[in-house]
């Protein structure tokens, strides 16, 4: 951490303040908290806001008075980005020492955290420059590198990202035929069935494996809207008869303590209109579309090569047999 500490020790242009990042799981009890920085995770993506109208950054805000700083962080994050968060994990804090007069100084601290979006405020209205967008890890790095802060926010993010992956244990479990309303949905994938009872798979140009059409949910998009959009974008198919196939429940643990849950929706549907497949159409990364039998998923689909994947394929085969029996 010495390199990181040195990276974050700097004087302001006025020469009146020295700031230092300190790795810690706890905040000092006797120092005033002035503000926070919160890297909000939405599935595999991160929510950024334009903090000065031109530069994207994590959600940040003031901590006013002697309050529960975590509750204030949740409230301010909701106001700034229109999202509700839980599972706030402290990774450290910035200590700001400012001179007062010739000899005295005042020290304040700013918690540096990550958290999880567990719901969206549908009535949230942006105020001024307040808005938010989702960005992948690579895009977060790209935007933070453009900030006029000597790379400090990017360095903080890379540290947070490292902590996020180091401290975290993630468990996946398949829940057939259900999608609980109380657990937030971050993505959707689709079992799209053709007239020969085969399942659609797609492949991106930079990958060597196939997967179900699907992807991350946009803010304010319903899970079903996400499924239909991703199927159209990736497989160039319009489908009908959408039904809930089940969901993947994703549980996040930090130091073996459950801090958040979310789910990945799974739908099943039938091909309605199958367009001629054009690789990389409209700038999307998909370069191949194939149709396979259910038992081929175990060898062709990377996401099925685990215990949950076996359960999912078995559930799919059962559904297909029931459909054939009832046809």
Per the CB < 8 A criterion, the answer to whether 60 and 128 are in contact is no
Higher per-residue confidence, 17 vs 101: 17
59 token code pair: 């959600």
**SS3 sequence, 197-210?**
CCEEEEEECCCCCE
Q: Are strands 237-254 and 83-100 parallel, antiparallel or unpaired?
A: unpaired
Mean pLDDT along residues 196-213: 92
**Which residues, other chains included, contact 94 with Cβ-Cβ below 8 Å and sequence gap of 6+?**
8, 19, 20, 21, 22, 37, 109, 110, 112
Quick one: which of 42, 114, 38 has its CA closest to 264? 42
Q: Which of 111, 51, 110, 117 is nearest to 84 (CA)?
A: 117
- Cβ–Cβ < 8 Å for 226, 234: no
Q: Is the dihedral of CA 107, 4, 25, 74 positive or negative?
A: positive
* Distance (Å, whole) CA 163 – CA 161: 5
Q: How far apart are alpha carbons 56 and 146 in whole angstroms? A: 9
> Quick check: 41 and 59 in contact, CB under 8 A?
no
At 53 the pLDDT is 64
β-pairing, 104-120 vs 32-33, is parallel
Spatial distance between the Cα atoms of 153 and 189, rounded to a whole number of angstroms: 34
Domains of the chain: 2-168 (3.90.79.10), 177-326 (3.90.79.10)
Distance CA 114, CA 85 (A): 10
The conformation of residue 94, written as its DSSP 8-state character, comes to E
pTM above 0.85, yes or no: no
Q: What is the pLDDT of residues 123-176, one digit of tens each?
A: 888 876 678 899 999 999 999 999 988 899 999 999 999 888 887 889 999 999
Q: Residues 183-196, buried b or exposed e (16+ Cβ, 10 A)?
A: bbbbbbbbbbbeee
User: Could you tell me which residues come within 8 angstroms of residue 181 by beta carbon, excluding any fewer than 6 positions away?
Assistant: none
Query: Which pair of structure tokens corresponds to residue 226?
Result: 């996400």
3-state secondary structure of 119: strand
125-139, 143-157, 224-238, 304-318 — most confident range: 224-238
Question: Is it the case that residue 298 has pLDDT exceeding 50?
Answer: yes
Under 8 Å between Cβ of 261 and 182: no
The percent of residues in the chain predicted with pLDDT above 70, rounded, is 92
Q: How big is the CA angle at 188 (ends 183 and 193), to the nearest 5 degrees?
A: 130
Instruction: Give the pLDDT score at 193.
Output: 96
pLDDT band at 10 (very low <50, low <70, confident <90, very high): very low
Cα 77 to chain center, whole Å?
15
Exposure on the CB side of residue 168, measured as CA atoms within 13 A: 23
Tokens of 90: 């402290």
């Amino acid at each position: 951490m010495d390199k990181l500490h040195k990276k974050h020790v700097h004087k302001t242009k006025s020469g009146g303040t020295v700031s230092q990042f300190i790795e810690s799981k706890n905040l000092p009890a006797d120092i005033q908290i002035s503000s926070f920085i919160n890297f909000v995770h939405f599935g595999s993506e991160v929510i950024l806001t334009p903090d000065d109208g031109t530069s994207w950054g994590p959600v940040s805000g003031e901590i006013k008075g002697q309050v529960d700083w975590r509750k204030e962080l949740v409230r301010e994050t909701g106001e700034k980005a229109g999202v509700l968060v839980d599972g706030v994990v402290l990774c450290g804090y910035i200590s700001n020492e400012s001179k007062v007069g010739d000899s005295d100084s005042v020290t304040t601290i700013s918690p540096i955290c990550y958290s999880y979006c567990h719901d969206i405020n549908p009535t949230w209205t942006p105020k001024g420059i307040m808005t938010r967008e989702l960005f992948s890890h690579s895009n977060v790095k790209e935007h933070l590198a453009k900030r006029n802060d000597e790379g400090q926010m990017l360095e903080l993010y890379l540290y947070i990202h490292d902590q996020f992956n180091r401290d975290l244990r993630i468990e996946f479990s398949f829940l057939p035929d259900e999608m609980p309303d109380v657990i937030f949905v971050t993505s959707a994938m689709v079992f799209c069935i053709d007239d020969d009872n085969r399942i659609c798979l797609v492949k991106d140009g930079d990958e060597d494996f196939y997967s179900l059409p699907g992807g991350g949910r946009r803010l304010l998009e319903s899970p079903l809207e996400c499924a239909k959009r991703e199927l159209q974008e990736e497989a160039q198919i319009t489908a009908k008869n959408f039904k809930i196939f089940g969901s993947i429940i994703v549980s996040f643990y930090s130091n073996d303590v459950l801090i958040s849950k979310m789910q990945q929706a799974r739908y099943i549907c039938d091909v309605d209109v199958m367009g001629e497949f054009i690789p990389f159409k409209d700038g999307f990364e998909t370069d191949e579309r194939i149709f396979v039998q259910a038992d081929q998923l175990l060898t062709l689909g990377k996401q099925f090569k685990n215990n949950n994947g076996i359960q999912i394929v078995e559930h799919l085969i059962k559904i297909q047999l029931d459909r054939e029996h009832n046809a």
